Amino acid sequence: MDNTFKESIQKAINNSNLTGALGKFSEAYKVNREKAYQGIDFEELRGRIAELKSFAAANLEELSERFTQKAEACGAKVFRTNDPAKVREYILKVAQDNGVKTVVKSKSMATEEIHLNPYLEKAGISVGETDLGEWIIQLAGQTPSHMVMPAIHMTKEEVSDLFSKEVNERLSSDIPRLVKVARDELRPRFLEADMGISGGNIAVAETGSIVLMTNEGNARLVTSLPKIHIALVGIEKLIANYADVATILKALPRSATAQLLTSYVSIITGQTPNTDGSMKDLHIILMDNRRSEMAADPKFKQALQCIRCASCLNVCPIFRLVGGHVFGKVYTGGIGTILTAWFDELKKSEDIQGLCIQCGACRDVCPGKIDIPELIMEIRRRLVQEKGLPLIQKAIYAVVNNRKLFHGMLRAASIAGKPFATGKFLRHLPLFLADLTDGRSLPAIASEPFRDRFRNIRQPKSQEKAAFYAGCLIDFAYPEMGEALIKILNSGGIEVIFPEGQTCCGAPARYNGAYEVAADNAVDNIQALLNEDVKYVISACPTCTVALKHEFISTFESVGLSGWIPKAKALSAKTVDFSTLIKKLVDEGRLSLKEGDEAGKITYHDSCHLKRTLKVSAEPRELLQKAGYQVTEMFECDTCCGMGGSYSMKLPEISAPILQRKLKNIKETGAPVVAMDCPGCVMQIRGGMDQDGAVVKVLHTVELLAERL
Amino acid sequence: MYQLFKAKAEGVSAEVFRFAMCEEALDFIIRFLQKEGVADEPYASAVWADSPFLKRIDRGALEKIAGLKFAVTRESAAAARFGISQMEWGLADTGTLVQNSTAIAQRLVSSLTSIHIALVPTDGILPDMPTLLSRVRPEVCAYIAMITGPSRTADIERVLTIGVHGPERLVIVFVDELGGDN
């Protein structure tokens, strides 16, 4: 990872204004968004948006053509180009042909994308941003840190300093007063401007209309007062039908700012009269800038379903810590990582793609139904394809891909690590697991891994069998979780088999873009697990479960090993996570847990893969309740703990504050125990609690239930 | 639908009133302007854009109000504190007003002033956006303007602040006599 990039992260995290403002906003956003969508079937709505936007993406040429015809028929001039340089030249030419001296702009990410302001200013044209946030960052000489709230990183004190300089008067930091200053300062500029430049939230092919949304009312002035209006629209804003405007208007303000509708929406179709009775000189620029290339890409065409609401930024546990500037100068956050890779270049996304912890929070809220984490993984995969893996990772995967060597090294680690272990925790792990984060103690490698302990476990025989897929953490760090699982399954009448040939699930390789390595892991595991005659393959690690159930198939698809897909599907059909299977056994009356509520208060942490990929969240809570625990929910129970596999090692400076927030939320419930279904989360949170000195016990649900049989 | 509209519009800080007759609405507007100190001075005057409402009332009472102008120009609108216009539709589920704003005067009075008074026929209230779009086509309305509450921003520290570039107050006056019984 680039050093300046690491420094920018450090700087952002140490900026308490930024983390404070973003943290507060992200907490409020979740609640308000929920409220704004009350009574609306979000899944149905985003299904419609995905459909109409993917249709548009598949028909960009036709829709551009139709839009052009319609808009030109009502007097607009439409300019289509793929080239950002041509966009800039076109705008400058219109300005120069008409003797334009001053321009007012309403907010437009497309103009940011092509760096329009400095270009026009170099040509001697004064450009004034009028969106309050954009104006603030223009005065500060900065770039937007958020698509919808460009100045969210600044404090009122900073704004008052900027405004004071601008108006030559010492202003207080009273926000209504500052807003009034902006109104008074910008009003004459609106009235004097020779040209207005806007973006476009939607472009309608059927009618040649553009739709503009603002809360401040600046777009109305920009499109009404100057005699020339240029709208710069990325072609991903095209939709086929006028009626579909309602569909997007239903989602965009709700997702962007949790409003039912923005204060102002304008649908502009062709020329309108100016104040002097002449007709508006209306130019609409349809800009491609690699969007049609994106549309032709089987994976990335999905990204054109984006309606630019920025909700992926608002729910991102990383974004709220580091803000937008770490991501770059234009598009930020999850979708921004993808857009940067395309509109700028793949290489530019090299560092920022690593910011994604793959928690999946953005995928759940995206109104365009874009699988943002998946696309970021695809960027990783392509980067690895293009540039290869870093040497150190190559060495690691060479080991991981050789099961015997890998397991041998883990065993060696249990001995080598011993002198450093204090109790159950290890301060420094040897070998490639070294160089780990502060703020979290790591588990000692078990002296006897699960695969060895298994041989000594005596089980009652049964016709119904399940293969246990332990995963590296349970096998080598938490074998007691595996023992607990067997105890529970036996009690439910299932005999457990442990196929020795099982190895790493491939998730670490896959999440680092090394799909070939992940595919090798998948083949080894399929051979080991499908070799047994069992009804279920059960795992108590959601990340492994997701690998077995979903990712083997998609990894094979990505690397072109289609011959393995039927077997991967057969494995997928048998694979089940721990809580789901146990819940089933309890529901069928085959397994009973100790009832009563004497077990006491407990809080539950939702692991990302379990909740958002496997869609399991009620099951473990019901089981814990049935086992006599009173479940007290913590704040943000389903927000990532910051583990993210090797993420916590690569970006400890981000992982640690995410963990701290999680610890705080757990402690605030007052529950003496926190349960979770993922050994990775246990490693992170237990280690955090240990360093924190808190007395809260951190346990896997499997351990808690085994005590209550 | 009126009740729903009112609740939603008030939820975004609009002020909502309803009168049966045009004369009552006129009386309300006159008293409102006077109470707020309308005067023939910069930033105290009022501009009234061409409205069907004006044809249904006796304009005599209006002519006596100093500072109320019917000639809407960028200068008169920029200098006015009050802007009055008639909007055609309301959307009940979001508390939104909608107008064919192709005529520039309609936009000036509702965007440059500090207080926008919007007259609306009560039966112009439609349930929602899809209904509106099925009735109002861009082929016949070059500038469809939707207004939901006053101008607002949260760009400084996410603190909601009313009145940035547009009006800081939106006063909605429904008149049944202008049509319908929603």
pLDDT confidence of residue A127: 96
pLDDT confidence of residue A399: 67
Please check whether residue B155 touches A, CB under 8 A. Answer: yes
Reported as a single tens digit per residue, the pLDDT across A62-90 is 999 999 999 999 999 999 999 999 999 99
pLDDT confidence of residue A42: 98
Name the pLDDT band for A1 (thresholds 50, 70, 90): low
Of the candidates B130, B148, B165, which has its C-beta nearest A262's C-beta?
B148
Judge contact between B116 and B167, C-beta under 8 A.
yes
Reported as a single tens digit per residue, the pLDDT across A114-151 is 999 999 999 999 999 999 999 999 999 998 888 888 89
Highest mean pLDDT of the ranges A405-409, A582-586, B151-155? A582-586
Is A418's pLDDT higher than 70?
Answer: no
Of the candidates A131, A133, A266, which has its C-beta nearest B145's C-beta?
A266
pLDDT confidence of residue A207: 98
Name the pLDDT band for A168 (thresholds 50, 70, 90): very high
Mean pLDDT of A235-257: 97
pLDDT confidence of residue A476: 87
Q: Which structural domains are found in chain A, ordered by start?
A: 75-291 (3.40.50), 404-586 (1.20.1050), 593-706 (3.40.50)
The model's pTM is 0.90
Of the candidates A21, A260, A275, which has its C-beta nearest B8's C-beta?
A260
* Mean pLDDT across chain A: 91
Please check whether residue B144 touches A, CB under 8 A. Answer: yes
Reported as a single tens digit per residue, the pLDDT across A35-69 is 999 999 999 999 999 999 999 999 999 999 999 99
Please answer yes or no on whether A151 and B74 come within 8 Å at the CB atom: no
* Mean pLDDT across chain B: 95
Please answer yes or no on whether A183 and B164 come within 8 Å at the CB atom: yes
Please choose, from the candidates A674, A677, A678, the residue with its C-alpha nearest in 3D space to the C-alpha of residue A698: A674
Structure tokens at B114: 């500090």
Please answer yes or no on whether B78 and A191 come within 8 Å at the CB atom: yes
ipTM tops the 0.90 cut: yes
By C-alpha distance, the chain B residue nearest A215 is B152
Domain B2-177 sits in which CATH superfamily?
NagB/RpiA/CoA transferase-like (3.40.50.10420)
Reported as a single tens digit per residue, the pLDDT across A258-316 is 999 999 999 999 999 999 999 999 999 999 999 999 999 999 999 999 999 999 999 99
Taking the C-alpha atoms of residue A103 and residue A573, their distance in angstroms, rounded to an integer, is 61
Minimal CA separation from B21 to chain A, in Å = 29
Please answer yes or no on whether B156 and A132 come within 8 Å at the CB atom: yes
Using a CB-CB cut-off of 8 Å, the residues of chain A touching B8 are 260
Mean pLDDT of A95-117: 95
Count Cα neighbours of B170 within 13 Å in the Cβ-side half-sphere: 31
Minimal CA separation from A643 to chain B, in Å = 30
Please choose, from the candidates A249, A215, A208, A239, the residue with its C-alpha nearest in 3D space to the C-alpha of residue A77: A208
Instruction: Please report the beta strands in B15-163, taking only residues with DSSP state E, as ranges in sequence order.
Output: 15-19, 45-48, 68-69, 80-86, 89-91, 96-100, 115-121, 125-126, 143-147, 152-153, 161-162
Highest mean pLDDT of the ranges A376-385, A415-424, A608-617? A608-617
pLDDT confidence of residue A20: 84
Q: CB under 8 Å to A36, separation ≥6 — which residues? A: A253, A254, A258, A259, A260
Domain boundaries along the sequence of chain B: 2-177
Please check whether residue A275 touches B, CB under 8 A. Answer: yes
Is B100's pLDDT higher than 90?
Answer: yes
* Interface test with chain B among A194, A267, A280, by most B beta carbons within 10 Å: A267
Higher pLDDT, B155 or A618: A618
Please check whether residue A74 touches B, CB under 8 A. Answer: yes
Please check whether residue A268 touches B, CB under 8 A. Answer: yes
pLDDT confidence of residue A709: 92
Mean pLDDT of A102-113: 94
Burial class (CB in 10 A: 0-12, 13-18, 19+), A422: exposed
Minimal CA separation from A96 to chain B, in Å = 25
Please answer yes or no on whether B139 and A207 come within 8 Å at the CB atom: yes
Judge contact between A77 and A282, C-beta under 8 A.
yes
Reported as a single tens digit per residue, the pLDDT across A419-469 is 444 444 443 333 334 344 445 566 777 788 899 999 999 999 999 999 999
Residue in this structure with the two tokens 């609690």, named with its chain if needed: A689
Is A348's pLDDT higher than 60?
Answer: yes
Using a CB-CB cut-off of 8 Å, the residues of chain B touching A314 are none
**Phi and psi based region of residue A595 (left: phi greater than 0; alpha: psi -120 to 50; beta: remaining):** beta
Name the pLDDT band for A400 (thresholds 50, 70, 90): low
Using a CB-CB cut-off of 8 Å, the residues of chain B touching A203 are none
pLDDT confidence of residue A43: 97
Reported as a single tens digit per residue, the pLDDT across A538-556 is 999 999 999 999 999 999 9
Strand pairing of B143-147 and B80-86?
unpaired
Using a CB-CB cut-off of 8 Å, the residues of chain A touching B154 are 149, 215, 257
Is B182's pLDDT higher than 60?
Answer: no
Please check whether residue B157 touches A, CB under 8 A. Answer: yes
Is B116's pLDDT higher than 70?
Answer: yes
pLDDT confidence of residue A416: 53
Please answer yes or no on whether A269 and B156 come within 8 Å at the CB atom: no
Please check whether residue B67 touches A, CB under 8 A. Answer: no
Minimal CA separation from A408 to chain B, in Å = 54
Name the pLDDT band for A210 (thresholds 50, 70, 90): very high
By C-alpha distance, the chain B residue nearest A184 is B165
Of the candidates A190, A217, A261, which has its C-beta nearest B151's C-beta?
A217
| DSSP three-state, residue A171 | coil
pLDDT confidence of residue A358: 94
- Distances, alpha carbon A184 to alpha carbons A137, A488, A518, B22, B108, in Å: 18, 71, 60, 36, 17
pLDDT confidence of residue A441: 64
